[in-house]
Structure 1
Amino acid sequence: MHIWAVANQKGGVGKTTTVVSLAGLLADEGHRVLMVDLDPHGSLTSYFRFDPDSIEHSVYDLFQVQGKITQELPKKLVLETGHPNLSLLPSSTALATLERHAQAQGGMGLVISKTLAILWEDYDYVLIDSPPVLGVLMINALAACQQLIIPVQTEFLAIKGLERMVRTLTMINRARKKPVPYIIVPTLFDRRTQASNKSLRSLKDTYEDLVWHSVIPIDTKLRDASTAGIAPSALDSSARGIKAYASLISTLKDPVN
């Protein structure tokens, strides 16, 4: 099982789009893919037409059993998306209450790691959509993942937000036996604008080899796929955005290139 987390401490940078696009492409290749929605806003869950406000069972259930996760529980929570090979562990808005409980209970940082250990033989890839705030949910994502993807919108404020994410990652890596490798992915890039081009240069100057060699462009087909509730590659595999995400997958599978 390969576990990739998508995280940034700023919203609106393309985290959910990145998860859905990568997951859809991996599923198209025949891999068994599980998406995990750890954001209380539930954008990934809503994408596939499940309501995080009213959903009966969700990833929240895993945190309610105080670390005593049975072999059966995770499999009961997984939902099918209608896309072959693509499954979802949905979010619930109840996740927003976790921080209060986490302080009282303690030991909640490895819930997702324990869950994925149970599901290890069931999936080839797991992609985790993280909330844009540092807390128990993001810590779970970073503790569980083998690879971190940090989408960064090519605009000034998003780059400033990246500084917080990198500081957080430095802190988390001190507590891990093996540091989390990460890649910074420029998103929502518009080559026609000076702001996008200037921000991209700034990213590369500041973070150098940590920045992916290409970009994810602005592409209305990605938004159209969201409106339709399907993986973007199922809507139009030839779209610019999908080709860019396919290139990103090649880099993630073979990071030397």
Structure 2
Amino acid sequence: MVVWAVANQKGGVGKTTTTVALGSMLASRGERALMVDMDPHASLSGYVGVENGAHGSIYDLFGSSGSAPPASSLVHATAYERLSVLPASSAMITLDRQVGTRAGMGLVLSQALAGLAEDFDHVLIDCPPTLGVLMVNALAASDRLLVPTQTEALALAGLERMLRSLGMIERSRGRPLPRTIVPTMYDARTHASRACLEQLREKYGDAVSATVIPTDTQIREASAAGVPLASWSAARRGGLAYRQLLDELLAMRGQLMADAAA
């Protein structure tokens, strides 16, 4: 089972869109995909039509009100074949206060996903925009970090904060976490987008994906309709870009596996 976290300490950069797009495209290719909603705003859960924690959520894994249920009991099927979700709830916003100082709370999600390893091929984690127990759990459980970054100057500060936070997590993990910066909302017609993309590539080099996600109003239309991009044919430019991004990420995954076997 491969686990990717999708995170940035700035909102509105395309984290949820990226998670749902990649998850649905993996499912359309025959992989059993699980999307994990670690954001108390529950945008991902709402996107795929899962009510806000009504029948259990990530919150329950932390055992704040007693023993934690098995993660399998909290997984919901979506309307799309082979695509499931482990939903969020607004109660998750209280977790830092309730369990943030308790030992072992940074590995709750890792342990939960270990129990699902036979059920899913791929897991994508939609992270909150703040560093706390939820993001720590997501990064600790992941094999790769995806950082969607809007191609505008203000988004670069959020990227810097995210990478500083990643450094802290890596020191705690005792090993590096591969990362891929994904430029999003790119508009080649504007100087600001072009300059920002150039700056990203100059500063972060190969850590920036070759694929750029363009501005596409149909991405928003698909989100408003609650339909993943894999099933929204009108999003031609955005859909093609996310398919190319998935191909790129899977190629990286294959190379890592080949290097590990060598």
Give the shorter-chain TM-score range.
Answer: over 0.9
Secondary structure of the residue aligned to 1:105 is coil
- 1:12 maps to 12
Runs of 4 or more off by more than 4 Å in structure 1? 65-70
How much has 1:101 moved relative to structure 2? Answer: 1.0
Deviation at 1:182, TM superposition (A): 0.3
Deviation at 1:12, TM superposition (A): 0.4
Q: Deviations over 1:136-176 (max 9, x none)?
A: 00000000000110000000110111111111111111121
Q: Where does residue 87 of structure 1 map in the other structure?
A: 84
Please list every run of 5 or more consecutive structure 2 residues that lacks an aligned counterpart in the other structure.
256-262
Per the alignment, in what secondary structure is the counterpart of residue 185 of structure 1? strand
Mapped pair 1:133 → 2:102 = no
Note if contact 1:16-1:129 (Cα within 8 Å) is conserved in structure 2: yes
Amino acid at match of 1:4: W
TM-score, L = length of structure 1:
0.94
* CA–CA distance in structure 1, aligned partners of residues 205 and 65 of structure 2: 41
Corresponding residue of 1:42: 42
What does residue 56 of structure 2 align with?
57
Whole-Å separation in 2 of the counterparts to 1:113 and 1:178: 15
Deviation, structure 1 residue 178: 2.6
2:259 is matched with which residue?
Answer: none
The CA distance in 1 between the partners of 2:114 and 2:211, in whole Å, is 33
CA distance in 2, matches of 1:16, 1:114: 23
Query: How many residues get paired?
Result: 254
**Counterpart amino acid of residue 247 in structure 1:** Q
In the alignment, the residues of structure 2 paired with residue 246 and residue 146 of structure 1 have an alpha-carbon distance, to the nearest angstrom, of: 20
C-alpha distance after superposition, 1:220-252 (max 9, x if no partner): 221121122121110117611111111111111
Report the TM-score when normalising by structure 2: 0.92
User: Which runs of structure 2 are paired with 1:1-257 in the superposition (5 Å)?
Assistant: 1-52=1-52, 55-64=54-63, 69=68, 73-236=70-233, 239-255=236-252
Which residue identity does 1:36 align to in structure 2? V
CA apart distance, 1:68: 5.8
How far apart in 1 are the matches of 2:234 and 2:177?
Answer: 31
Instruction: Return the letter of the residue paired with 2:54.
Output: I
Structure 1 vs Structure 2 CA RMSD = 1.8
Identity %: 51
Consecutive unaligned residues of structure 1, counting only runs of 5 or more, are: none
Shift of 1:74: 1.1
Looking at structure 1, the residues matched to 210 and 45 of structure 2 have their Cα atoms a distance apart, in angstroms, of 30
Query: How much has 1:65 moved relative to structure 2?
Result: 5.7
Matched residue type, 1:60: Y
SS of aligned partner of 1:186: strand
Alpha-carbon offset, residue 50 of structure 1: 2.7
Q: SS in structure 1 opposite 2:100?
A: helix
